[in-house]
Structure 1
């Protein structure tokens, strides 16, 4: 597998399961905002950065003021309700649980200086998987993509959005990566 096939498979995963994508410095996988807001923005899952040649998270987007406002407007969630869901009141929280699931796939490593989500004292770090690590051999790349697809469609952030009727993930029983014989 080469970079082009990796990128094409990632794009196919995004469209096949009903996520949205935009192209700024690569392309991203996110859940579009409702019609009250531009559909070019939403709840961000991951980005494929062509300049850094990696798949990366951008968790700072979850606690941005604009995101808080949109969640209140679209879903009638107060700032505290949204914060408690994303950070977790007693448990780990959706964002950290999602990051843990991504890290279990392999290749993902911490990047950046950390983010204080919702003003939290302890920093949470974005993670990234370099193309070079993913593509070290064909079997590894296919396994990585299959696991990334599963985590993308079955994670606590997507479930949260589905439970609120904000998004319905399509084709959960029909994976793009099923075409690979592992």
Structure 2
């Protein structure tokens, strides 16, 4: 079973980050470690990609106002998002690692994010594996370009109905 464990920028203690890395290695296999510099806007857009379909975040009309409260407790200037791609032999091993990490962080949710399913894992990896995605997250303001964002969403839905994913389109364009 493959999971993504992201440590929010607010947890910038190198000691705690090393401790988390050790826990992940002891309980499973760390396939990849990705450290990503995100601006406040970049982390906001990253959170929007992860949680955007949930009603609590808000919407374009209210500028995702509830997401900003969530962002405020997770962002820290000059710190980075640290993401691990980990493989565990069972859900129990993963749950044990998650419990140990939460005890190191002394928090329930404010310092880490753990992907709960394969779709979220894949989404996070797609967002962080490409420097252009990171640049877009750091500088794109969906609140300012509402019509563009709305049309982009329509195109994405139309493509999905035709069996085309954004990744398929990007792969075709780079050939």
TM-score (norm 2): 0.27
Bigger Rg, structure 1 or 2: 2
Q: TM-score, normalized by length of structure 1?
A: 0.26
- Structure with bigger strand share is 1
- Indicate the structure whose relative CO is greater, using CA pairs within 8 Å and at least 6 residues apart: 2
Q: Quick check: which one's helix share is greater?
A: 2
